[in-house]
Amino acid sequence: MRSIVKNVLKYILLFLLPALTLAGENGGYAGSFLRMGVGARATSMGNTGVAHPTNAYSTFYNPAAFGVINEHMVGLSYSFFSLDRNFELVSFSMKVPPGAGFSIGWVRTSVDELKSYNSIGEETGDINQSANAVYFSFGRKFTERLSVGISLKILFEFINDGTEEFDYSSNGVGVDLGILYKVTDNLTVGGQVKDIKSKFKANTDKIFERGGTTIDKFPQTYKIGAFYQTPVDWLRAAWDFEWSNSGHTRNHIGLEAVHGKNLALRAGLNGTNLVVGAGMDFMIIKTLSFLDYSFVPSIVDEGSSHIFSWQIVF
């Protein structure tokens, strides 16, 4: 069985190699909030996550991780962005015996109280916007080393100015697929196909004089990655590579250094952007908690960002 899996992985990599030469960016395409990364641990390690050990944020990075989940998990993540932007995630994950797991999660980004003006410069109120994705994820372990997973995403977006004259909404669905393979006790590799058929569809007849149906498709993204427990007990490393059908490519590299039993320091590169963070674990009423923080410096003078996440395992 192991030789078969290795051959399959070899041919998959040979098939994917031509895509590694693609260049470009995903900016300007719909669904950008689902390409930002969630959870302070993953983001502070360069936004890696495809091959990370199972956690409450695996619903976002690789649903195959739920094939090896052994506990119940609750995940909360909140990002303080500049320019009055917010980004949140809440999730619940659980084991489904034998050899499977399920998760439901909600990702939301929003901008509130943007000032609205008419054609002669008069203030008319506030504009509020939010984009949302509700995840239903399932992972199944097929061997002691191999698991696969799928996520169904319900997508919806709202933009309004507090009046009935401008009340925009769109919706859609999408699918993510994932695979996870434990090569050795210290090395895990994974892959993800993200945003299959994802799109926002809206009807603007009630908003614009010449309105109609608009469809904004998300770029379909592919990721491969690895997570390695180095021979040094206190050091872990992660690497992801992503590309999309819009021509975007990016490397993600992260390191995690564990100090003592409860403290971790992290740093990574998300493309060429340096990110850093830290985390700690502790017990509350016999329940294990992980509290993590990530600092993301300004990229184009938009201001730095702060990400906090809290994971509860029981």
Q: Residue 123's pLDDT band (boundaries 50, 70, 90)?
A: confident
Least confident of 23-32, 53-62, 64-73, 117-126: 23-32
Instruction: Name the β-bridge partners of 43.
Output: none
Q: Residue 299's pLDDT band (boundaries 50, 70, 90)?
A: confident
- Please state, in angstroms and rounded to a whole number, the distance separating the CA atoms of residues 38 and 43: 6
User: pLDDT of 241-259, one tens digit each?
Assistant: 999 999 999 999 999 999 9
Quickly count: other Cβ atoms within 10 Å of residue 79's Cβ.
23
In this prediction, residue 46 carries a pLDDT of 96
Q: Where are the beta strands (DSSP E) in 161-286?
A: 167-182, 187-196, 199-203, 213-217, 221-229, 235-244, 249-259, 263-270, 273-284
What are the structural domains of the chain? 22-313 (2.40.160.60)
Q: Residue 304's pLDDT band (boundaries 50, 70, 90)?
A: confident
Burial, 70: exposed, middle or buried (Cβ in 10 Å; 0-12, 13-18, 19+)?
Answer: exposed
Mean pLDDT of 148-161: 93
- Please state, in angstroms and rounded to a whole number, the distance separating the CA atoms of residues 227 and 102: 22
In this prediction, residue 7 carries a pLDDT of 40
Least confident of 47-51, 182-186, 199-203: 199-203
Nearest to 150 by CA among 135, 166, 137: 137
- Please state, in angstroms and rounded to a whole number, the distance separating the CA atoms of residues 250 and 238: 14
In this prediction, residue 12 carries a pLDDT of 31
User: pLDDT of 38-61, one tens digit each?
Assistant: 999 999 999 999 999 999 999 999
SS (H, E, C) 228-240: EECCCCCEEEEEE
Quickly count: other Cβ atoms within 10 Å of residue 215's Cβ.
11
- Please state, in angstroms and rounded to a whole number, the distance separating the CA atoms of residues 257 and 123: 51
Q: Residue 163's pLDDT band (boundaries 50, 70, 90)?
A: low
Enter the pTM of the model: 0.85
What tokens does 70 get? Answer: 């052994």
In this prediction, residue 204 carries a pLDDT of 79
In this prediction, residue 148 carries a pLDDT of 98
Which stretch of DSSP H or E encloses residue 60? helix 58-61
What tokens does 298 get? Answer: 């300004």
Report the chain's mean pLDDT, rounded to a whole number: 87
